[in-house]
Amino acid sequence: MSEIFVFGHQNPDTDAIGAAISFAYLQKELGKNTVPVALGTPSEETQYALDYFNVPAPRVIEEAGSQTKQVMLVDHNEFQQSVADIKDLSILAVVDHHRIANFETADPLYYRAEPVGCTSTIIFKMFKESNVVIPTQIAGMMVSAIISDTLLFKSPTCTEEDIQAANELAAIAEIDLNGYGLDMLKAGTNLSDKSAEVLLDLDAKSFPLGDKNVRIAQINTVDFNDILSRQDELEATMNAEITANGYEMFILIITNILDSDSELLVLGNSLDKVEKAFNISLENNRSFLKGVVSRKKQIVPQLTEAFN
Amino acid sequence: MSEIFVFGHQNPDTDAIGAAISFAYLQKELGKNTVPVALGTPSEETQYALDYFNVPAPRVIEEAGSQTKQVMLVDHNEFQQSVADIKDLSILAVVDHHRIANFETADPLYYRAEPVGCTSTIIFKMFKESNVVIPTQIAGMMVSAIISDTLLFKSPTCTEEDIQAANELAAIAEIDLNGYGLDMLKAGTNLSDKSAEVLLDLDAKSFPLGDKNVRIAQINTVDFNDILSRQDELEATMNAEITANGYEMFILIITNILDSDSELLVLGNSLDKVEKAFNISLENNRSFLKGVVSRKKQIVPQLTEAFN
């Protein structure tokens, strides 16, 4: 029986890595020959969680087809966010909490999506439904993923189910939710030694909007000035990526995880669509968005409507 | 709070109607203002079940947008099988057991697909997970849907979960599975008074394969000759529909529900793709397919591969 690869999206965040580890574990307990892999190296935030719970980082793959034909996707479904050769693979299962788009299969599959704040919250329910015990290390990665995706429950994507799951998992993982959570989030905001290329690729996804391709990156910080002091350098890199990849637009969301607000930095064409979508005027390519922290809930739907 | 419409695919079969009724009931018990509707009138098989369990047929709608913006889909996801204005609606939930294709949303949603034989089997699990009691009438429609989709457990799409669910539901519905099941299936094979147009539309779906649109209809019978004696009339109608709708091909699957075999009748272009997909030679536009009863598992994947 060949291995079944389980992985999250490109530029993996803590949920993409944590959900791959926990879902691969659950499926293995249920008799499948699953192994977690990743489409990139862990961020510093994710590495903090891996180190804390003594979990090895999943092996990074560039493609899957030379090693297996069977995969399970977590925390994403859109093909442009997945492994490069996804169209040649058989997708056995998806567990996700995003919109569904640019996804199709030839055969019936297991697909479980719920509009909650974190994929790991759904996987937590699946552990319960299957009566599989959650080990400490796995619980630690799952609660880290929920803290990360919900910004410690401050994101509007956060639901009662996420909070409930996080509390139960924190007890299993033997952590203090707030203390551990803030330490982990802050570990991800130490960005001064990173190049603009790296910063813009930490948590970046491409979205087909209308007939255009839009790149949307997000950076968490505890001080806007840490990032905005490098605006010139960031803009040069964003423009280079727009040219190299044919993006209609590059949007950088800089999110203050302590205040739960964001600054947008936007380059490219169709800037009027961004201004219309959020009822803002860009000045110096920037605008402040009060209370906005969620790309999925507060950015992408509004842009989707503006582009349609 | 406006109503949320719950419906199955066009040309509804017993699962499309039964799953809409049962899922709308479950969601209503969970606090949603759901109402089952249908994208067509019940077949004679479905009407047999509705009459037996004294359940009113869902209201037929042509479009949804003038009445509600919020919908839940059961037993389908592909937009070309759904309500005409599906792209203008907000899809809150999908419960299905088919491949995923030609489906997308702007927002995260609840999506539950499992590779089992019948949508109603998944809904049965959801009743259990939610601790909602299943009334006799609802159980009756759900077990009828499982009997229909699995041809009384003879289809290769049938899983242990379908059989288990059907047995538990039959107990609640107070029926003898085999006796009721055969009576219901036979009620759907009384086709002599139906025009070729009606026959070809009873259980027909369009599938985008490669860059072509292929129509695939299925008719259940207890005697091939009941259908094949009308081959000339059927072919004339199939050719007319190919012309009117630009289908690349029209495939009619005639399935003997007693022997669990099928005859294919195929018209249009790319006939070599059909011959290659099933390793057959069409004679008089026909070929016998031993042991083939499932469009979803034994026809569509093979054709998808042939067209790619």
For the segment B251-264, what is each residue's pLDDT rounded down to a tens digit? 999 999 888 999 99
A296 touches chain B (CB under 8 A): yes
Q: Is a pLDDT exceeding 70 seen at residue A1?
A: no
- A42 Cβ contact list (under 8 Å, min separation 6): A12, A14, A17, A50, A57
Q: How far is A233 from chain B (nearest CA, A)?
A: 33
A119/A162 same-domain check: yes
Overall number of domains in chain B: 2
Substitution target in A104, A116, A160, A300 with the highest count of B β-carbons within 10 Å is: A104
Q: Are residues B121 and B22 in the same domain?
A: yes
- φ, ψ of residue B157 to 5 degrees: the values are -75, -15
We report the CATH number of the domain holding residue A290 as 3.10.310.20
Contact B111 A100 (CB under 8 A): yes
B133 pLDDT exceeds 70?
yes
Annotated binding-site positions of B for Mn(2+): 9, 13, 15, 75, 97, 149
DSSP B203-261: TEEEEEETTEEEEEEEEEES-HHHHHTTHHHHHHHHHHHHHHHT-SEEEEEEEETTTTE
Residue A2 has pLDDT above 90, yes or no: no
Residue that has been written with the tokens 């959900």 in this structure: A19
Residue B185 has pLDDT above 80, yes or no: yes
* Helices and strands (H and E) in chain A: how many: 12, 11
Please, which residues have CB within 8 angstroms of residue A234's CB and are 6 or more apart in sequence? A196, A199, A200, A227, A252, A265
AA identity, residue A61: I
Query: Domain range spanning residue B282?
Result: 196-307
The pLDDT value given to residue B1: 61
Question: What Cα–Cα distance (Å) separates residue B67 from each residue in B35, B62, B109?
Answer: 12, 11, 21
Q: Is A105 on the interface with B (CB under 8 A)?
A: yes
What gap in Å lies between CA A208 and CA A74, rounded to an integer?
20
| pLDDT for residue B190 | 84
Whether residues B178 and B213 fall in one domain: no
Binding residues of A: 9, 13, 15, 75, 97, 149
CA atoms within 13 A on the CB side of B216: 22
Using pLDDT thresholds of 50, 70 and 90, give the confidence band for residue A297: confident
Q: Point out the residue among A110, A301, A304 whose CB comes nearest to the CB of B114.
A: A110
B30 part of contact set with chain A, CB < 8 Å:
no
Cβ pair A68, A2 in contact under 8 A: yes
Under a CB-based contact definition with an 8 Å cutoff, are residues B63 and B30 in contact? no
Over pLDDT 70: what percentage of chain B? 100
Determine contact, residues A73/A91, Cβ cutoff 8 Å: yes
Nearest by CB to B106, from A97, A99, A113: name it.
Answer: A99
Q: Check whether residue B61 and residue B165 sit in a common domain.
A: yes
One domain, residues B62 and B81: yes
Residues B178 and B215 in one domain: no
Hey, are the CB atoms on B104 and A102 less than 8 Å from each other?
Answer: yes
In Å, how far are A130, A165, B72, B95 from B125, measured between CA atoms? 12, 21, 18, 11
Our CA-based measurement puts residue B136 at a distance from the nearest CA of chain A, in whole angstroms, of 25
B108 touches chain A (CB under 8 A): yes
Domain match, B241 and B166 both: no
Mutate to test the interface with A, among B89, B98, B100 (most CBs of A within 10 A): B100
Same domain? For A37 and A176 the reply is yes
Residue A100 sits in the same domain as residue A229: no
Do B19 and B85 have their domain in common? yes
Cβ atoms of residues B259 and B155 within 8 Å: no
Residue B306 touches partner A, C-beta closer than 8 Å = no
CA A119 to chain centre: 10
pLDDT of B57 above 70: yes
Given a cut of 90, is residue B192 above it in pLDDT? no
Give B267-295 pLDDT, tens digit per residue. Answer: 999 999 999 999 999 999 999 999 999 99
Looking up residue B132, the CATH number of its domain turns out to be 3.90.1640.10
With H, G, I as helix, E, B as strand and everything else as coil, classify residue A10.
Answer: coil
Residue after which a domain boundary falls, among A139, A172, A189: A189
pLDDT digits (tens, 9 = 90+) for B171-183: 999 999 999 999 9
Give the pLDDT of residue B308.
Answer: 83
Residue A29 sits in the same domain as residue A163? yes
* pLDDT tens digit sequence for A170-191: 999 999 999 999 999 999 888 8
Question: Do strands B110-113 and A110-113 pair parallel, antiparallel, or not at all (unpaired)?
Answer: antiparallel
Rounded to an integer, the average pLDDT of A131-155 is: 97
* Boundary of a domain, candidates B189, B216, B242: B189
Check the CA dihedral A168-A169-A174-A180 and report its sign. negative
